[in-house]
Amino acid sequence: MTNAVYEPIYRTDFKFPGQTNVYHGKVRDVYTISDKYLVMVATDRISAFDVILPRPIPFKGQVLNQIASMFLDATKNLVPNWVVDVPDANVTIGRKCDPYKVEMVIRGYLSGHAWREYKSGKRMLCGVRMPDGMKENDRFPVPIITPSTKAAVGHDIDIAKEEIIAQGIVSKNEYEQLEHYTRELFAFGSEFALKRGLILVDTKYEFGNLNGQIVLIDEIHTPDSSRYFYADGYEERQANGEPQKQLSKEFVREWLIANHFMGKEGQSVPEMNEEWINTISNRYIELYEKVTGIRFEKQFETPLARIEKNVLESLKHLK
């Protein structure tokens, strides 16, 4: 199979039995079945600064789906989740829930968006005070939760806990449960990562309501939703003021920033050549293998035909 050519999945257009809706998100295509189940197809699209980049990344969808399915299975006793079946390397089927309109972002270290805000002089992020005197990538004394509202189009918006409750986006009791689950999941993910020689720097979780029960939805602990540092050498790099060696999508954001793109009006996405596309793909695969400890098996079989066949088989067994 080494000579096989993989055709990245940029968009799908399936017509499944019982299909009542389809939604094409930033990186996933979500099919609603009988208003009861969601077939979530992880495509090879990549987004940054809430903009879908024009070229897909080979095997990215497989990486995301397989990491997420592993962690969802590993945490189902901690937090109930939406998953019913994982019939294909790129597909998860789950129960349709009413999603909470907030993303629960938790940060153990001053990196990425938090650092960019901090560097600009801000010390409050989503109603949470960040200590003075911190350097980029320093560890917070206690992980901070900095939620954002889910935007249908464009950028997600930072929002404080008090605003979420005051606006009735989530009730006080439900929000406190979301915070509890967020800290539980982050503690699990951090411990798991350390065993693999990694630091889980920050991540985000999404939740839904299923018949009155809060359940974890979407993906967790993937390179799209999380940032990882290599644990070995972290302290030395911080002491020397050196950049951290990381596995995340941040390197894509940094490349875009260096090429004058941050998703702002009037900016154009820089051209991504074949070499850069392959570099991104290899970084995703590296993260998969590092996080899971499992060798990545590239699925070369024509992806759309394979996905359709596996989903149709799975749907036969859903009630």
Q: What is the pLDDT of residues 66-101, one digit of tens each?
A: 999 999 999 999 999 999 999 999 999 999 999 999
Domains, the chain: 99-248 (3.30.470.20)
CA distance 39 to 42: 10
Q: According to the model, what pLDDT value does residue 39 have?
A: 98
Q: According to the model, what pLDDT value does residue 205 have?
A: 97
Q: According to the model, what pLDDT value does residue 59 have?
A: 96
Query: What pTM, to 2 d.p., does this model score?
Result: 0.90
Q: Give me the residues of the chain with pLDDT under 50, please.
A: 1
Q: According to the model, what pLDDT value does residue 188 have?
A: 98
CA distance 222 to 15: 28
Q: According to the model, what pLDDT value does residue 223 have?
A: 82
Q: According to the model, what pLDDT value does residue 152 have?
A: 55
pLDDT digits (tens, 9 = 90+) for 210-246: 999 999 999 999 988 899 999 999 999 999 999 999 8
